[in-house]
A and B are shown apart, each in its own frame.
Chain A
Amino acid sequence: MSAEPVEVRVTKPETDAYLSVRDLRVHFPTADGLVKSVDGLSFDVHRGEILGIVGESGSGKSVTSQAILGLHKGSRARITGEIWLDGQELVGASEERMRALRGDQMAMIFQDPLSAMHPFYRVGDQISEAYRVHNKVSKAVAKKRSIEMLDRVGIPNPDRRYSEYPHQFSGGMRQRAMIAMALVCDPKLLIADEPTTALDVTVQAQILDLMKDLQREFNSAIILITHDLGVVAETCDQVVVMYGGQCVETGTVDEIFYEPQMPYAWGLLTSMPRLDRSRQDRLQPIAGQPPSLIQVPKGCVFNPRCAYQDKVGGDVCRTQHPELVPLSTSSTHAVRCHIHPEERRRIWADEIKPTL
């Protein structure tokens, strides 16, 4: 029933990261063919660090987070690779084991708090329930703890709000309640899947501030999944740029924003209108459409939309799949591109950066 890992390595990778994902693949067999939602993804998240995963819809960001939480277990998904959470391997873990970890060691904040909360139960009871699943305490203690959390995430009158229903909360308040629910067991890993996409900018600013505060307070590891580069710049330490189910570039937030080397990352930066720069006459979109995950392009996954293929001789871009290569042995900045690093640096400095 559940997905069997192809290779189960019992040795933990040499890293002190709280969560480390190694060569994760999530494939869904469908009537039309095999959908390769995530195809060979690796990254590390440390305690006290915020990792941003950016990408367009269909790039596999949400599927990755669901795989970490074990939400694909029992489905037809084929999951291979390794997910190490604090020394435990999760891909081969049983459903019961995952259930014990979910909520306790790792928790998730969803995009749409209205559909993620049960409409028939009081908000406070839902938070208490999450607490009592993992802690043998009385209802009264759980309630006290929930009210504390509601207060901590900035909900006014938490006593009264405890016994209200989700529909009585506004969007921002609901997202705060979701955060309270996720944090009630003090998880070390928090996955936030587009936590502010459904919110207005003014409320988004409040929620992002709150998440940063809580992260400092609890020293947790956070994975922030978003399509908004502004949100990434504001909150994240490390960034993974995903395209077509693969990581195409990764590095610190400064490396990704000030020295990006992958044509897709350039495209993302040039295609968005920005309030902090003078207005351009025309936006420079990335041509074409995102790839089909059933027929992933041969060679570099970005090649059908890439404007810089002529920088590489022959048809290498269309035939050979590039590896994710670190720029130097000590660097965290790694890029999946055939263009020579010197050439990439030159294109960024001479052609892309001045147009931003």
Chain B
Amino acid sequence: MSTTAESGPQPNDINVNPVEDSDALLRVNGVTKHFPIKQGILFQRQVGAVRAVDGVSFSVSAGETLGLVGESGCGKSTTGRVITKLLDPTAGEIIFDGKNIADYSRSQMRSIRRHVQMIFQDPYSSLNPRHTIGTIVGAPFRIQRTKTERGIKAEVQDLMARVGLNPEHYNRYPHEFSGGQRQRIGIARAVALRPKLIVCDEPVSALDVSIQAQVVNLLEDLQSEYNLAYIFVAHDLSVVRHIADRVAVMYLGKIMELTDRDSLYEKPVHPYTHSLMSAVPVPDPHKEARRERILLTGDLPSPINPPPGCVFHTRCPKYRAVLSENDKQRCRSEVPLLEPKSPGHFAACHFPEIRTDLATAQDAGVAGR
């Protein structure tokens, strides 16, 4: 069971700090995004903030896929949007290719956009219904002025063929395509300028299973062909396990656990990761019947007023069942930092579950190798 050998194309992602990897393509350091809540009609004053993302740090190397998983409202999509600067961060650094783009203006961002692209969740609302496919996929070339008008058409038709669309459909409109085909159009647009990083925000969750597999395979092919780095935002843990090299688990705006794929799925140390994995139903009736479930009670607390200390303690099964009163006090008052619990395995928990046996992980529906 080697965790280092398969942890990704870059062997140096086992490092001490998640952001100390100096030659990474993207380093995100303490990024925070608070949406102000305002009151008053003429003179608005801020009365609070939705802490959508609260001090998130990680790095992504060239050609690597980082999965961002969590429940809805945990800030995974906001993180993706802050990295592409569709939203400006409240605080923190976003270092892309050695430049801190956190404070870049729109015009400064234009040169960066060539290298950082995005694929959206909903293939229906992310394509302009009044533009043809040629216009949509050709837009990046026109904006960046990298090609002549004739060159654009040839390039777009090449791209369409590359993502599995018929190049003769150049002049068709989005409504003439099915959901899976539309998602391919969005992918063609994102890879048009050969970016270095693509933020994929739930790219397959709106698609049927059989189509989902086609799109996942396409994303993997494009990655190896163009050496793309992906930030793969998704709530589906099985898809993330398939595509990601490293995975960050988010909860209420914070990263709870960050490590390479195999250690995360085989030896999760954070109680939240554990419960998340045990909740995924597996398509095997006998295994389902035998499986022990860690049921989380209640809902996600409000990010306007997150719990003090560890944000997860209100729903934590370990906090409720195992910990002593003294330990509980620590969970309630002290914010756990994202620290390495074993080499390359980061978790934000005072009482992580360091396991030597694999039995529990298998109960949680994760196969040993």
Contact = CB atoms under 8 A, between A and B. Distances in A.
With a 10 A CB-CB cut-off, give which of B241, B242, B278 has the most chain A CB atoms: B242
A204 B180 CA distance: 25
Interface stretch (B104-112, B185-193, B203-211, B329-337): B203-211
A272 B238 contact: yes
Interface in A206-252: 206, 208-209, 227-234
B217 A282 contact: yes
A136 interface: no
Contacts of A204: 279, 281
A144 B265 CA distance: 46
B238 A273 contact: yes
B259 to A, nearest CB: 15
With a 10 A CB-CB cut-off, give which of B277, B283, B286, B297 has the most chain A CB atoms: B283
Contacts of B280: 201, 230, 275
Contacts of B279: 201-202, 204-205
A271 B212 contact: yes
Given A202-B275, A279-B242, A272 B365 contact: no
A20 B283 CA distance: 27
A209 B294 CA distance: 12
A290 interface: yes
Interface string A278-300: 11101111110110000000000
Contacts of B220: 282
Interface in B341-369: 365-367, 369
Contacts of B282: 230, 233, 274-276
Contacts of B369: 278
A208 B295 CA distance: 11
A271 B367 contact: no
Interface string B191-219: 00000000000000000111111101100
A271 B241 contact: no
Contacts of B208: 56-57, 227, 290
Interface stretch (A23-31, A77-85, A170-178, A309-317): A170-178
B139 to A, nearest CB: 26
Nearest to A282: B217
A95 interface: no
A227 B236 CA distance: 14
A353 B21 CA distance: 42
B71 interface: yes
B293 interface: yes
B238 A274 contact: yes
Contacts of B283: 229-230, 232-233, 257, 269, 272, 274
Contact of A202 (B180, B210, B276): B276
A184 interface: no
Given A230-B281, A283-B216, A285-B217, A273 B239 contact: yes
A234 B281 contact: yes
Contacts of A276: 282, 284, 287, 365-367
Contacts of A277: 367
Contacts of B62: none
A254 B71 contact: no
A8 to B, nearest CB: 36
- Classify chain B's interface size: 35 or more
B91 interface: no
Interface in B93-122: none
A268 B288 contact: no
Interface in B290-335: 293, 295-297, 299-300
A257 B209 contact: no
A287 B241 CA distance: 23
Contacts of A90: none
A171 B281 contact: no
Contacts of A227: 208-209
A144 to B, nearest CB: 25
B40 interface: no
Contacts of B11: none
A233 B297 CA distance: 23
B357 to A, nearest CB: 18
A171 B72 CA distance: 10
A283 B178 contact: no
B242 A202 contact: no
A338 B265 CA distance: 41
A200 B281 contact: no
Contacts of B261: 279
A275 B71 contact: no
Interface in A180-212: 200-206, 208-209
Contacts of A205: 278-279, 281, 293, 295-296
A253 interface: yes
A209 B295 contact: yes
Contacts of B241: 273, 275, 279
B299 A173 contact: yes
A304 interface: no
Contacts of B285: 233-234, 253-254, 257-258
A289 B293 contact: no
B29 interface: no
Contact of B209 (A56, A170, A201, A209): A56
Contacts of B19: none
With a 10 A CB-CB cut-off, give which of B211, B220, B276, B286 has the most chain A CB atoms: B211
B242 A273 contact: yes
A289 B183 CA distance: 13
A171 B282 CA distance: 23
A275 B209 contact: no
A48 interface: no
B296 A271 contact: no
Interface of B: 71-72, 178-181, 208-214, 216-217, 220, 235, 237-239, 241-242, 261, 265, 275-288, 293, 295-297, 299-300, 365-367, 369
23 contacts: A56-B209, A171-B72, A173-B299, A205-B279, A205-B281, A229-B209, A254-B285, A269-B283, A272-B212, A273-B213, A275-B265, A275-B280, A275-B366, A275-B367, A276-B284, A276-B287, A278-B369, A279-B242, A283-B213, A284-B213, A286-B210, A287-B214, A290-B210
Given A206-B297, A283-B217, 15 more contacts: A56-B210, A171-B72, A200-B72, A227-B209, A230-B281, A230-B288, A271-B209, A272-B212, A273-B213, A273-B239, A273-B242, A274-B283, A275-B241, A275-B366, A280-B242
